[in-house]
Amino acid sequence: MAQKGIREYHAKKILARWLPEYSNGEFKLHGKYALVTPETSLDELAEKEKWLKEDRLVVKPDQLFGKRGKHGLVLLNATFDEAKKWIDEHMGKEVQIGKVKGKLTHFLVEPFIPHEKEYYVAIKDDRDADHIYFSTEGGVDIEANWDKVIQIDVPVLEDIDNIDLRTPLSAQLSGEELDRIERFIRALYKVYRDLFFAFLEINPFAVTESGEIVPLDLVARLDDCAEYWAAKKWGDIEFPAPFGRELTPEEKYIKELDEKTGASLKLTVLNPKGRVWTMVAGGGASVIYTDTIADLGYAKELANYGEYSGNPSTQFTYEYAKTILDLMTREPDPRGKILIIGGGIANFTDVAKTFKGIIMALREYADKLKENKVKIYVRRGGPNYKEGLRLMRELGKELGIPIEVYGPELHMTRVVRLALEGNPETQEQKA
């Protein structure tokens, strides 16, 4: 539910499809793009995409990370056989990009186009205006040359056709080139706007002698909230997980559940071996619980980030809780584990109702929870919370699992301290 990156392949396909229409046919892309996945047979693909065997090729990973050249992950000016060999060598290979490790699974193949001049263009959104950036000196060093980048703002309520692009652009362009680039930027902006792009950077793009625009390297994000309005124009695209963050089956399952309900269900597994698991209600509260766990020095032990909110049904809460309980009881840890069922004071989520789903799951996993020496800490408020807390307390007694239960009288995150550093009061009682 936000800005999401798409593959370079899909972004180029979108531009190839729509740029001609938004420029009265003036700007055409060659449209020769192929996406290679682990399932792709290159030979079969080459029967459909004849150019694969006719043109010299460029191959690069297409998985939402940049600086591919610097990581030696771009193959230039290759024959079909060379490209095939290169992909074979790299497919499934683990690489480290910055802090992140991940497997290479998707490659973009396109024709190699020799060119001289490298232009830069980017469009970025901001609260009051879209910012258009342009430079005749694009390429890998654009950041170093940022002082040479022209910025043009299109205020939110303004039409691009009423914006003077010519004056600022003439700082770097003139004559026919100026005319052409001006028209190109206008058309590109209209595509950007109408198709709900949130970010688009083409660095660099070249213009061939015949006037064809060739985007060489491209990064794009779409606003996935606009799917209802723009899905038809986007065509068959996907929103891949960030590199190195391919969804686990459990994360995928929760994502599917989330899409089925008007409520919100989110799960990110950070460290499946972590001892501290959370099941927190609310997008805002879940962040604060995570902060508190990190503040207390347990970041490395934190197993997951997630939240449920928007009054999910008992059934959905049950499925959500079951998924987390299943994950956290797969491998016992001699030190035991902690589950924090937290949340603020709900506005309209029925606490007893959502807790019933969680309780169903806890009951189902009672034996496994005991095997894994899981201690449960609950803190929650909101409609019907007293009933919800009572049910939790009774469950603890019934199942013989340690469950400490708190309401709004306890500061929201103090339960984290109790969970991680122990409760001085109950320890005294034990002594």
Partner 1 sequence: MKTSKPDYILFDRDTQAIIFNEQRKAIQRMLDFDYISRREKPSVAAIVSPGREGYLKVFFGKREILIPIYPTLREAVEQKPHADVLINFASFRTAYSVTKEALFYDTIRTIAVIAEGIPERFERELAALAKKLGKWIIGPATVGGLRAGAFRIGNTGGSIENLTMLKLYRPGSVGLVTVSGGMLNEMFNIVHQNSNGAFEGIAIGGDRYPGSTLLDHLLRYEANPDIKMMVMLGEVGGTKEYEVVEALKAGKLTKPLVAWVTGTSAKVFPTEVQFGHAGAMATSASETAEAKNQALREAGAIVPESFDDLGDKIREVFEDLKAKGEIPEIEEFEPPKVPMDYADALKKGIIRKPKEFICTISDDSGEELLYAGVPISEVIEKDYGIGGVIGLLWFKKELPEYARRFIELSIVITADHGPAVSGAHNAIVAARAGKDVISSLASGLLTIGPRFGGAIADAAKEFKRAFDAGMTAEEFVNDMKRQGKYIPGIGHRVKSVKNPDKRVELLKDFAFKNFPNTELLNFALEVEKLTTAKRDNLILNVDGCIGVLFVDLMRSTGLFSEKEIDEFIEMGGLNALFVLGRSIGIIGHVFDQKRLKTRLYRHPYDDILYIHPDEEKEFFGG
Q: Which residues would be at the binding site for partner 1 (CB under 8 A)?
A: 1-3, 99-100, 125, 127-128, 155-157, 193, 196, 198, 223, 225-226, 228-229, 242-245, 264, 266, 268, 270, 281-288, 290-295, 299, 302, 305, 307, 309-310, 344-348, 381-384, 387, 408, 411-414, 417
Query: Distance of CA 261 to CAs 218, 230, 255, 264, 350, Å?
Result: 34, 21, 10, 7, 16
Which residue's CB is nearer to partner 1, number 148 or number 417?
417
Minimal distance, residue 417 CB to partner 1, in Å: 7
Minimal distance, residue 190 CB to partner 1, in Å: 13
Which residue's CB is nearer to partner 1, number 29 or number 415?
415
Which residue's CB is nearer to partner 1, number 95 or number 207?
95
Which residue's CB is nearer to partner 1, number 55 or number 102?
102
- List, in sequence order, every beta strand (DSSP E) within 139-181: 150-155
Unique residue bearing structure tokens 């959502």: 354
Minimal distance, residue 387 CB to partner 1, in Å: 8
Instruction: Decide if 257 contacts 320 (C-beta within 8 A).
Output: yes
Minimal distance, residue 262 CB to partner 1, in Å: 9
CA dihedral over 158, 161, 163, 165, signed as positive or negative: positive
Instruction: Decide if 4 contacts 222 (C-beta within 8 A).
Output: yes
Which residue's CB is nearer to partner 1, number 25 or number 262?
262
Amino acid identity of residue 386, one-letter, is K
Nearest alpha-carbon partner for 303 in 325, 330, 284, 278: 278
Phi, psi of 271 (to 5 degrees): -155, 100
User: What distance in Å separates the CA atoms of residue 17 and residue 45, rounded to the nearest whole number?
Assistant: 20
- How many Cβ atoms sit within 10 Å of the Cβ of residue 198? 20
Amino acid identity of residue 416, one-letter, is V
User: What distance in Å separates the CA atoms of residue 419 and residue 104, rounded to the nearest whole number?
Assistant: 40
Q: 119 forms bridges with which residues in the sheet? A: 205
Minimal distance, residue 196 CB to partner 1, in Å: 6
Minimal distance, residue 223 CB to partner 1, in Å: 5
Minimal distance, residue 75 CB to partner 1, in Å: 26
Minimal distance, residue 246 CB to partner 1, in Å: 11
Which residue's CB is nearer to partner 1, number 215 or number 381?
381
Which residue's CB is nearer to partner 1, number 95 or number 169?
95
Minimal distance, residue 429 CB to partner 1, in Å: 24
Q: Tokens at residue 328, please?
A: 């956290």
Nearest alpha-carbon partner for 105 in 275, 245, 312, 1: 245
Which residue's CB is nearer to partner 1, number 80 or number 243?
243
Which residue's CB is nearer to partner 1, number 62 or number 223?
223
Q: Tokens at residue 370, please?
A: 């005991």
Phi, psi of 205 (to 5 degrees): -125, 155
Which residue's CB is nearer to partner 1, number 93 or number 386?
386
Minimal distance, residue 197 CB to partner 1, in Å: 9
Half-sphere exposure of 22 (CA within 13 A, CB side): 23
User: What distance in Å separates the CA atoms of residue 192 and residue 150, rounded to the nearest whole number?
Assistant: 18
CA 372 from chain centre, in angstroms, equals 32
CA 42 from chain centre, in angstroms, equals 28
Q: Tokens at residue 276, please?
A: 């501290």
